[in-house]
Structure 1
Amino acid sequence: MLFGYAWDTSGFWPFVISILPILLIGMWVTIKATVIGFAIALVLGLVLAALKAAPTRLIAWPARAITEFIRDTPLLIQLFFLFYVLPDFGLTLPAFMTGALALGLQYSAYTSEVYRAGLEAVPRGQREAARALSMAPGRTFTHIILPQAIPRIIPALGNYLVSIMKDVPVLSVVTVLEMLNVARIIGDRTFNYLVPLTIVGILYLLLTLIAAWGIRWLDNHLPSHGVALK
């Protein structure tokens, strides 16, 4: 007997089977929030990195200030601002989209630094060669510099993918029913927290292991000289 449940089919396993479908629904919400938040972070982070690298200070400095502001303020404050303050200005988003947006904004500051490091790692001669061929700056960036930077930054971006996944439980404060929040509700109603929280821990472990494996596979299979972007 452990925490009120015998480790046999008379109590423990039926309870696990009964709550697993609900937890899997919460896991799907977690996966969707992770994917959408990471996609926002990738796109917005690239935009911020490009703006910070602009030769004009009027463009670069505001981008750097925005990055620092996002990075130096807690995710929870940004989430509350988006959820409670934006409606005052006529912009109301569903709780799930608000949470995914908050995750994307928070991590865009970090991914922008990853992009910056990758872009700076591309040999300067590549830019000079493109300039000698009279390539437009935009085309140089998208067809020469960025494709060579991507293989260099995959591992770092993968770390932030896992970090976003582990930050999804924060969205429970705005009523998003991700799997940890579902486990808490099950514990509140059944007075048994051990089983649902243990299952959630196992599910998170599986998700992070799968994500880490995917990142390693991508890192090993991408050509080291760069990827082709059309």
Structure 2
Amino acid sequence: MLFGIHWDTSGTTLDFALSILPILLIGLKVTIEATIFGFVLALVLGLVLAILRSSRFRIVSWMAWFVIEFLRDTPLLVQLFFLFYVLPLYGVSLPALVIGIIGLGAQYSAYCAEVYRGGIEAIDRGQWEAAHALDLSRIMTYKDIILPQAIPRVIPALGTYLVAMIKDAPLLSAITVLDMMAASTIIGDQTYNYLVPLSIVGALFFISTLVASFLVHKLDRALPKTGIPMK
């Protein structure tokens, strides 16, 4: 029994699969929540890091570079273990799912930052010069001129990282997050039947990544490559 739901091991393989499907769907909900909130965090933090990385102040740019490289070059599992096991030693105790979201978001913010930076640097230098000639502040230049042009160009690359994040979400089971991968493992341990739950989990991941790819494709086609119109 898991999530208060019993499964049927006495019937056919189909009966067993149908009995555990509700459990795995609850785990899928946890996986989707971790992915969505983690990706939103990665998009926001990644944009901040990209802007800091492009700063005219060398110390700010260097610090942003160091953070990006540190997050990108250390394994996600190590970062999750650090957040989950080390932070409580200093009085910071958070739910496992929140830790997982922070870990996913922080890790992928480094990748998103480089994607954003590539999009920002692709903007013609004349756009910056025109903004300077109009005496626009750097914040207004980013908000009204640079980002509306840069973001549509990087949607496909950001979508690739969304799909990658979905596939990395099972790592959260290592810090006790009861996602569908953890649920399938528990079912396998108790029934000695790993084939059925893992097969269902594989199918659910496949469907999830297909849906994510489709939505990213639709968004990419909907946004004009010349820039998002600003009102």
State whether structure 2 residue 149 is matched by structure 1 residue 148: yes
* Number of equivalent positions: 222
Could you state the TM-score of these two structures normalised by the residue count of structure 1?
A: 0.94
State whether structure 2 residue 59 is matched by structure 1 residue 62: no
SS at 2:177 equivalent: coil
Within-5 A mapping of 1:111-190? 111-190=112-191
Could you state the TM-score of these two structures normalised by the residue count of structure 2?
A: 0.94
Distance in 1, Cα, partners of 2:181 & 2:208: 14
Which residue is equivalent to 1:191?
192
CA contact (8 A) 1:143 1:228 kept: no
CA contact (8 A) 1:34 1:165 kept: yes
Distance in 1, Cα, partners of 2:173 & 2:229: 40
SS at 1:146 equivalent: helix
Which residue is equivalent to 1:19?
20
Deviation digits for residues 15-47 of structure 1 (CA, Å, limit 9, x no counterpart): 111100000000000000000110111011001
Distance in 1, Cα, partners of 2:167 & 2:229: 32
Give the superposition deviation at 1:14.
1.2
SS at 1:223 equivalent: coil
Which residue is equivalent to 1:107?
108
Distance in 2, Cα, partners of 1:177 & 1:219: 33
Between the two proteins, what is the percent identity of the paired residues? Answer: 57
SS at 1:215 equivalent: helix
Structure 2 CA distance for partners of 1:214 and 1:137, relative to 1, 3 Å: same
Which residue is equivalent to 2:48?
47
Deviation digits for residues 37-72 of structure 1 (CA, Å, limit 9, x no counterpart): 101110110010000100011211111011111111
Within-5 A mapping of 1:58-97? 58-97=59-98
Distance in 1, Cα, partners of 2:116 & 2:225: 16
Give the superposition deviation at 1:228.
3.8
CA contact (8 A) 1:142 1:229 kept: no
Deviation digits for residues 68-104 of structure 1 (CA, Å, limit 9, x no counterpart): 1111111111101101111111111100000110001
1:118 maps to amino acid: G
CA contact (8 A) 1:183 1:197 kept: yes
Distance in 1, Cα, partners of 2:83 & 2:11: 47
Which residue is equivalent to 1:4?
none
2:27 maps to amino acid: G
Q: Is the deviation greater in 143-152 or in 122-131?
A: 122-131
Give the superposition deviation at 1:229.
5.5
SS at 1:192 equivalent: coil
Deviation digits for residues 109-136 of structure 1 (CA, Å, limit 9, x no counterpart): 1100000000001111111111111111
Q: Is the deviation greater in 82-91 or in 199-208?
A: 82-91
1:204 maps to amino acid: F
Moved runs in structure 1, 4+ residues, more than 4 A? none
CA contact (8 A) 1:115 1:153 kept: yes
Distance in 1, Cα, partners of 2:138 & 2:129: 11
SS at 1:92 equivalent: coil
Structure 2 CA distance for partners of 1:229 and 1:75, relative to 1, 3 Å: farther
Give structure 1 stretches of 5+ with no counterpart: 1-8
